[in-house]
Structure 1
């Protein structure tokens, strides 16, 4: 038995981070039980894709404890229903909701043949897919068989007593707004909109219009690309919000373009984070610390305007509905700060 921590910068306590411990247990399991308070729609969609790509995980039961009484967003609810239907149709488990009481626990049980492990502590399911969240989590890892098996039994009892299969619970009639909260992300700052407006009113020495490419497995659609395969053959798909802009060398070779450089971007809606350009001819335009930062900003806007559903590819029709198929990228009087705009007509 030992504790594991998020190990964010300046607070590294354990040798391995909570995320790596959780995922190592998850991908080596044949059965997983999960009882969590909250989930995000993208985490559910990524879990769904993992199960599609990896048959060695034979069974998953998931209890979502808070959303039924506090409210689902429509994408969140749809993602859970789709996951439940997939699990049922393949006889691999169920998704449950707590209809009559809010369940705020976070308990996970992993079975690998006859070996059991458990995690109990503070982390919701979303934590294990999203490394951008600022929240520092800690959990107790139970690897002694008696205690790990007891936790497994407790999770089974919790699901049995509190859980209703999501397709048997009354469908919500009211959904809460869907929002991607960049303010909770590491390395992202909110900028006063008055300052943003002043910056965008200033003349720019350099300005570039970057077309948005809708290739099936890259750019904004990395989620559908080839996943990362470990030595045992386990496939971890790309994150839903993972993106990179592939910029033509007709643009990157123009005078003033930040060629293979790091810089700060301030967006038209007031977010500030680090980006860089790299690769052949500086073709890759990415958020620096995590590719999901830029992806949350771009895809989050498409989702918030009902132009994109989680798990669907970004297409020409997506951009037509949004009303924009270009990013505007412009300089400021500070060579290390650039402005990025992606305004739609909705």
Structure 2
């Protein structure tokens, strides 16, 4: 048995000492099977692990996470973990599991070669330690590694027990994992946008009227569907003038625009979102077909696409013209994973004033998955 350290000032590695992250990387490269049981992970660590598994010769891997079923799981981390599980199960090399029998706070890593464990690590290092970022950069951890046969068998048996149905389940089989919605940081410090507190959002919701419109997001079915690839919220992929990834077009069908109470052409209103942002919007374009953020077309895009980024379903694309594989294209498959494929626009009975004194109606914009469910429940009750 020997120690594995974090490596940070003032406790830099000394002579003969090994960092956990270095040992982990070497063990992955040597192994052909891996079992991991930890309390917590991170999005960055999951992506790092996927890259390591893809480049190494791994025949089987199981990652079991111990705390989230009871404490709640950040939505971005959940979606990245679910995608990782989909990839591994599809390739028949492994799975991602969640402990549900109890809160599991252990941290154990077992590495195998030719069916036998050759190394095991236990200690305080969660999986996030394999990809340091701001949240854990100054978090010191300590673990031990053993290569003793009896200890290896004991640790391996323990981790295999955690993997059994009596303790855990595949993440895809659990429909009741509580998700913690993450902040849409794409709108932070953006001009013409204000933050709204949860209490203020609730106050606006209580003043909503029955004038409401469900606006479908028009997107291709999946990454192989060429239809609508360069239109609507994927307009940045259209040929012609270059647009940044955040710029979108919300094109509303005539059947919705013609309904009573739909916002008047080019008459600005204040939009308050269900996740706590506020900006001016309006309807415009030929036949009033577009719903835009008024002062900057990217604001609406940062709200919609920013929610998908926060959910861990897509990454912003810096140069759209270089995205030949269309990794930044929003698809119906992606929206299904998010849990929402429409935007709800609902009028309130509140009138506010712009900075220049112009009176503005206040409308609610909803895109959180639970917003749709709450509306459906209310409709059923009524």
TM superposition score normalised by structure 1:
0.52
Pairing of 1:160-239 with structure 2 (within 5 A): 160=164, 161-172=166-177, 174-178=179-183
**Whole-angstrom CA distance in 2 between matches of 1:131 and 1:80:** 18
Q: Which has the higher mean CA deviation after the structures are superposed, 41-50 or 66-75?
A: 41-50
The Cα of 1:153 is off from its aligned counterpart by 1.1
2:155 is aligned to: 151
1:312 to 297, 301, 315: 315
Q: 1:172 to 1:307 in 2, by over 3 A?
A: closer
Retained in 1: the 8 A contact 2:117–2:156? no
The Cα of 1:156 is off from its aligned counterpart by 0.3
The Cα of 1:52 is off from its aligned counterpart by 3.0
2:38 to 36, 39, 44: 36
**Whole-angstrom CA distance in 1 between matches of 2:44 and 2:163:** 23
**Whole-angstrom CA distance in 2 between matches of 1:61 and 1:8:** 30
2:253 is aligned to: none
2:255 is aligned to: none
Q: 1:313 to 1:131 in 2, by over 3 A?
A: closer
**Whole-angstrom CA distance in 2 between matches of 1:303 and 1:116:** 48
The Cα of 1:130 is off from its aligned counterpart by 1.3
The Cα of 1:303 is off from its aligned counterpart by 11
2:4 is aligned to: 4
1:109 is aligned to: 110
Q: 1:57 aligns to what SS in structure 2?
A: coil
**Whole-angstrom CA distance in 2 between matches of 1:311 and 1:50:** 20
**Whole-angstrom CA distance in 1 between matches of 2:163 and 2:308:** 35
1:48 is aligned to: 50
Retained in 1: the 8 A contact 2:3–2:145? yes
1:135 is aligned to: 139
The Cα of 1:33 is off from its aligned counterpart by 0.3
**Whole-angstrom CA distance in 2 between matches of 1:61 and 1:28:** 17
Deviations 1:134-163 (A, max 9, x none): 111111101112211221111101221311
Retained in 2: the 8 A contact 1:41–1:310? no
The Cα of 1:96 is off from its aligned counterpart by 0.5
Q: 1:167 aligns to what SS in structure 2?
A: helix
Deviations 1:114-144 (A, max 9, x none): 4510000001001112165211111110111
Q: 2:180 aligns to what SS in structure 1?
A: coil
Q: 1:162 to 1:303 in 2, by over 3 A?
A: farther
Aligned length: 199
1:86 is aligned to: 87
RMSD over aligned Cα atoms: 2.9
The Cα of 1:315 is off from its aligned counterpart by 4.1
**Whole-angstrom CA distance in 2 between matches of 1:92 and 1:30:** 10
The Cα of 1:45 is off from its aligned counterpart by 2.1
Pairing of 1:296-311 with structure 2 (within 5 A): 305-306=306-307, 308=309, 309=312
**Whole-angstrom CA distance in 2 between matches of 1:32 and 1:303:** 38
1:64 is aligned to: 65
Q: 1:306 aligns to what SS in structure 2?
A: helix
Pairing of 1:263-342 with structure 2 (within 5 A): 305-306=306-307, 308=309, 309=312, 312=315, 314-315=317-318
**Whole-angstrom CA distance in 1 between matches of 2:25 and 2:47:** 16
Runs of 4+ in structure 1 deviating by more than 6 angstroms, as ranges, are: 301-304
**Whole-angstrom CA distance in 2 between matches of 1:37 and 1:302:** 32
The Cα of 1:82 is off from its aligned counterpart by 0.8
TM superposition score normalised by structure 2:
0.47
**Whole-angstrom CA distance in 1 between matches of 2:304 and 2:32:** 34
The Cα of 1:4 is off from its aligned counterpart by 1.4
**Whole-angstrom CA distance in 2 between matches of 1:302 and 1:48:** 29
Retained in 2: the 8 A contact 1:60–1:93? yes
The Cα of 1:171 is off from its aligned counterpart by 4.0
The Cα of 1:31 is off from its aligned counterpart by 0.5
**Whole-angstrom CA distance in 2 between matches of 1:63 and 1:179:** 28
**Whole-angstrom CA distance in 1 between matches of 2:179 and 2:125:** 27
